[in-house]
Structure 1
Amino acid sequence: MTPLSRTRDTALRCHACPWRSAPSATTAKTPNEAPYEHLPTTPRHPHPHTRKPNSVPDRQQRQHPRIPPFHAGIRPGNRRSPGTPRDRWPKARLICFEPLPGPRAKLARVTRGQAEIHDCAPGAAPGEGRMHLATRTDSSSLLALGARQKAIYGMEESGELRVPIKRLDACHPTPPKRPAQLKIDVQGFELEVLKGATDLLPNVDAVYVEASYVELYEGQALHEEIEHFLIEAGYNLDGRFNTHVHQGEPVQADLLFRRRTSS
Structure 2
Amino acid sequence: MNVLFKMTDAAKVFLQSGRGLGALFQPGGSVASTQLLHNCRHYIPAVQTILDVGANQGQFALSAAHFYPGATVHAFEPVPEVYAALQRNTRKAARISTYNFALGSSSGALNFYQNHYSHASSALPVSVLQRQVVPATATVQQITVPVQRMDDVAIALVPPVLLKLDVQGFEQEVLKGATTTLQAVDYLLFETSFVPMYDGEPLFDDMHQFVKQLGFEFIGPVGYYQADTLQILQMDLLYKKK
1:147 maps to what in 2? 128
Say if 2:106 is the partner of 1:121: no
2:83 maps to what in 1? 104
2:27 maps to what in 1? none
Can you list the C-alpha shifts for 1:84-134, whole angstroms capped at 9, x where unaligned?
433443332111111111221221222226322221101111121122122
Task: Tell me, in whole angstroms, the C-alpha distance in 2 between the residues paired with 1:82 and 1:249.
Answer: 28
- Root-mean-square deviation (Å): 3.3
1:65 maps to what in 2? 44
Give structure 2 stretches of 5+ with no counterpart.
Answer: 1-11, 25-29
Q: What TM-score do the two structures reach when normalised by structure 2? A: 0.76
Percent same amino acid among aligned pairs? 27
Q: Is the 8 A contact 1:62 1:241 kept in 2?
A: no
Can you list the C-alpha shifts for 1:137-177, whole angstroms capped at 9, x where unaligned?
111111011101111111213311110111111113x6611
Q: Is the 8 A contact 2:58 2:75 kept in 1?
A: no
Q: Is the 8 A contact 2:79 2:114 kept in 1?
A: no
2:189 maps to what in 1? 208
1:46 maps to what in 2? 31
Q: Is the 8 A contact 2:113 2:125 kept in 1?
A: yes
Task: Tell me, in whole angstroms, the C-alpha distance in 1 between the residues paired with 2:74 and 2:195.
Answer: 30
Give the residue type in structure 1 aligned to 2:76.
Answer: F
Change in CA separation of 1:222 and 1:67 when aligned onto 2, cut-off 3 Å: farther
Change in CA separation of 1:94 and 1:194 when aligned onto 2, cut-off 3 Å: same
Query: Alignment partner for residue 227 of structure 1, among 205, 208, 212?
Result: 208
Moved more, 129-138 or 231-240: 129-138
Give structure 1 stretches of 5+ with no counterpart.
Answer: 1-20, 26-38, 51-60
Give the residue type in structure 2 aligned to 1:250.
Answer: I
Task: Tell me, in whole angstroms, the C-alpha distance in 2 between the residues paired with 1:177 and 1:103.
Answer: 28
Task: Tell me, in whole angstroms, the C-alpha distance in 2 between the residues paired with 1:126 and 1:232.
Answer: 24
Give the residue type in structure 2 aligned to 1:133.
Answer: Q
Aligned length: 213
Task: Tell me, in whole angstroms, the C-alpha distance in 2 between the residues paired with 1:199 and 1:243.
Answer: 29
Higher relative contact order (CA 8 A, sep 6+): 1
Q: What TM-score do the two structures reach when normalised by structure 1? A: 0.70
Can you list the C-alpha shifts for 1:51-86, whole angstroms capped at 9, x where unaligned?
xxxxxxxxxx995336663112311256xx994433
Change in CA separation of 1:112 and 1:90 when aligned onto 2, cut-off 3 Å: farther
Say if 2:117 is the partner of 1:132: no
